[in-house]
Amino acid sequence: MNRKSSKKKQKTNDNKMLSWKETWQINKMALLLIHRSQSGLIATSLMPCVWSALTPYVGIWLLALIIDELSGSRRPQRLLTLVLATLISSALISLADALLKKRKAVEEECRFYYLRKITADKMMDMDFCIVDNPDTDRKLAQILQNQSGGGWGLIRAFRLMEELLTAILTLFGGIAMTITLFTSRVPDNAGTLTILNNPLFLALIIAVMLAVTYIAPLLSNKADSYYAFNSNIHTLANRLFGHYGFMGKRKEFAADMRIYRQDKLCEKYNNDKSGAFCSQGYFAKLARGPMGLYSGASGAVSVMFTGVAYLFAGLKAWAGAFGVGMMTQYVSSIVRLAGGLSSFIGTLGQTRINATFVKMLLDFLETPNVMYQGSLTVEKRNDRQYEIEFQDVSFRYPGNDQYALRHVNMKFTVGRRLAVVGMNGSGKTTFIKLLCRLYDPTEGRILLNGIDIRKYSYREYLSIFSVVFQDFTLTDLPLGQNVAAAMNYDGSLAASCLQKSGFGDRLDRLPDGLETYLSKRLNKNGMDMSGGEKQKIALARALYRDTPFIILDEPTAALDPLAEAEIYSNFNAIIKDKTAIYISHRLSSCKFCDDILVFDSGAIVQQGSHDVLVEDTAGKYHELWQAQAQYYNSQPNPQGSPAR
């Protein structure tokens, strides 16, 4: 890619360089965030910075004294004292340095997890509808990619702060050690070299040094900015790499990879030399072009500083302004000073670039919730008399033109069994998501005991539902903790819920009973469960919660017919006086329900009992029933045919 088009690419990027004021504010907020997430970290990290910035000057100073003594009076006693002081001080400095750094390393070990937790906590805090929005996922992925790919973000802000402090202290130490280089005078008999005493000459030397020190990091930051401000390109490249590069390693892909030779799909990506990070890719071209050029120029300019400093100190020593010991001190200190100055300017530049990435995180963390948070408490009724009503509810997913639900009207009371049936995509799961207030209706309202559910405290409202979603999640933790969704649980209740959900026999055969881990990832004695077994555990978890409403989205899809028959025959006993809502494809599973809602294209097209609905030969239910009956009639079903 030529320079013109790379410039164009930079312009098309979303990221913008922030002002210094914004940079300062964002970094301040970043440090506060880090402090809140891990309070001891800042202090523990800064101590080694202060130590390692200032202590090297002790060695430089002592070495200068030794060299001066060697080239001057050569007093054995003084030399011995100086050598001993050098040895003891460097031993003590190294000891303290190691202690401080070790302490810092231990704190930092947890830093990654604490900082990762910041985004995880935010996700938990967000309204479900925001989490479910693909935009949220994109933003979070970009933040995490910037962090793991380019190393930009909160951790970098922290590291840059450490570097800035080290640079400032190095700078002060260097100035203190070299001030006499500029103030000491060459003797008047030094001929033309007395020009070194001329304030104008001094000003010129200092100006050259400052210019060189300023330009070097400027060039290096310019090189860095090519990478930083093309983060959208390397984020995509990283994602592709993450997707293809690691597919072979993932256990859950292993079977499909073999059967469908998905490695061939990846080959195309892996062999593509023009990928963002490959030898013919965008960044490689930048590195061979402007990025490399700026980086090289920066290196060349920075050695000029050392050259000028050596020349100046050498000429002054030659002219007799100071001895060889001081020459050593000046040269060593000035190299450190130059390093400090260059690091200071470079770090400032990097801090400004990094602020753009920290801002992305801060913006993400400030994403406001949009759902109205009511304050009414949900009446805890012993008689469990709850009534739910949908009043002309319509719903569109954010960013979608199409309605997923259209004019839904229905009412049901607790204690009844309600089935929700319909083709795929007809709106069944969306109906449940609205009922659980994971989304609010676009139009219309949902009432609980006559009150709009938005007026209830959200947490309270959620607490009356247990849901087994189709794509439920279990953790790798022990079975009992999974059932109770808590670390501490009532073992006999957990076991009885597992019994009811049909997991009893399996539980009896588990080596560690309720303490069995649900995979080998956390414990080598863990057991991998089949899809059907997992579904039974999820069902037991819903029962353990003992809420007035229990909602099962395709509760038996992964169960074998015998297990399904067992669960259904016991269902009334299992759920007792709870209201149960089933979403099911198998209409035979719904026969025992008091009421059946038939969804079609986002609307309730029929409602009634099985016996009534099946008689309506023009209705959707009859159509679905017939379609399944044909299947069951031609293939004997251990559960019995649903056809009448």
Residues that bind ligand ADP (CB under 6 A): 132, 397, 400, 404, 422, 424-430
Provide the minimum distance between the beta carbon of 603 and ligand ADP in the complex, in angstroms, as a whole number: 11
Provide the minimum distance between the beta carbon of 432 and ligand ADP in the complex, in angstroms, as a whole number: 8
Provide the minimum distance between the beta carbon of 435 and ligand ADP in the complex, in angstroms, as a whole number: 12
Nearer to ligand ADP, 161 or 434 (CB): 434
Contact between residue 275 and residue 238 where contact means Cβ atoms under 8 Å apart: no
Contact between residue 512 and residue 525 where contact means Cβ atoms under 8 Å apart: yes
Nearer to ligand ADP, 146 or 426 (CB): 426
Residue 626 corresponds to which amino acid?
Answer: Q
387-395 and 443-448 beta bridge pairing: antiparallel
Nearer to ligand ADP, 169 or 604 (CB): 604
Q: What's the sign of the alpha-carbon dihedral 41, 47, 53, 56?
A: negative
Provide the minimum distance between the beta carbon of 425 and ligand ADP in the complex, in angstroms, as a whole number: 4
Provide the minimum distance between the beta carbon of 601 and ligand ADP in the complex, in angstroms, as a whole number: 9
How many residues does this entry show for the chain?
644
Nearer to ligand ADP, 444 or 504 (CB): 444
Provide the minimum distance between the beta carbon of 555 and ligand ADP in the complex, in angstroms, as a whole number: 13
Query: If residue 468 lies in a helix (H) or strand (E), which one and from where to where?
Result: strand 465-468
Contacts of 122 (CB under 8 A, 6+ apart): 364, 365, 367
List the strands of the sheet with 549-553, edge to edge. 465-468, 549-553, 579-583, 417-422, 595-600, 603-608
Nearer to ligand ADP, 69 or 595 (CB): 595
Nearer to ligand ADP, 335 or 436 (CB): 436
What is the rounded distance in angstroms from the CA atom of residue 266 to the CA atom of residue 243? 9
Strand partners, 422: 599
Nearer to ligand ADP, 552 or 574 (CB): 552
Gyration radius from the chain CA atoms:
36
What is the rounded distance in angstroms from the CA atom of residue 607 to the CA atom of residue 614? 11
Strand partners, 580: 417, 550
Residue 159 corresponds to which amino acid?
Answer: R
Provide the minimum distance between the beta carbon of 540 and ligand ADP in the complex, in angstroms, as a whole number: 23
Contact between residue 219 and residue 245 where contact means Cβ atoms under 8 Å apart: no
Nearer to ligand ADP, 369 or 633 (CB): 369
Provide the minimum distance between the beta carbon of 614 and ligand ADP in the complex, in angstroms, as a whole number: 20
What is the rounded distance in angstroms from the CA atom of residue 112 to the CA atom of residue 242? 19
Nearer to ligand ADP, 153 or 602 (CB): 602
Nearer to ligand ADP, 217 or 602 (CB): 602
Nearer to ligand ADP, 299 or 425 (CB): 425
Q: For 405, phi and psi rounded to 5 degrees?
A: -135, 145
What is the rounded distance in angstroms from the CA atom of residue 58 to the CA atom of residue 52? 11
417-422 and 405-413 beta bridge pairing: unpaired
Give the SS3 label for residue 606: strand
Nearer to ligand ADP, 153 or 427 (CB): 427
Nearer to ligand ADP, 33 or 552 (CB): 552
- CA geometry: angle 339, 342, 344, nearest 5 deg: 105
> Tokens at residue 118, please?
């910041």
Provide the minimum distance between the beta carbon of 129 and ligand ADP in the complex, in angstroms, as a whole number: 9
What is the rounded distance in angstroms from the CA atom of residue 515 to the CA atom of residue 522? 12
Provide the minimum distance between the beta carbon of 426 and ligand ADP in the complex, in angstroms, as a whole number: 4
What is the rounded distance in angstroms from the CA atom of residue 391 to the CA atom of residue 448? 11
What is the rounded distance in angstroms from the CA atom of residue 309 to the CA atom of residue 317? 12
What is the rounded distance in angstroms from the CA atom of residue 469 to the CA atom of residue 558? 12
Provide the minimum distance between the beta carbon of 369 and ligand ADP in the complex, in angstroms, as a whole number: 18
Provide the minimum distance between the beta carbon of 236 and ligand ADP in the complex, in angstroms, as a whole number: 22
Q: For 153, phi and psi rounded to 5 degrees?
A: 130, -150
Provide the minimum distance between the beta carbon of 553 and ligand ADP in the complex, in angstroms, as a whole number: 8
CA-wise closest residue to 26 among 358, 368, 360: 358
Contacts of 251 (CB under 8 A, 6+ apart): none
Provide the minimum distance between the beta carbon of 420 and ligand ADP in the complex, in angstroms, as a whole number: 8
DSSP string for 397-464? -TT-SS-SEEEEEEEEETT-EEEEEESTTSSHHHHHHHHTTSS--SEEEEEETTEEGGGB-HHHHHTT
> Tokens at residue 633, please?
């009639």
Nearer to ligand ADP, 244 or 431 (CB): 431
Provide the minimum distance between the beta carbon of 632 and ligand ADP in the complex, in angstroms, as a whole number: 22
Contact between residue 595 and residue 416 where contact means Cβ atoms under 8 Å apart: yes
Strand partners, 419: 582, 596
Nearer to ligand ADP, 68 or 600 (CB): 600
Provide the minimum distance between the beta carbon of 541 and ligand ADP in the complex, in angstroms, as a whole number: 21
Nearer to ligand ADP, 57 or 439 (CB): 439
Give the SS3 label for residue 552: strand
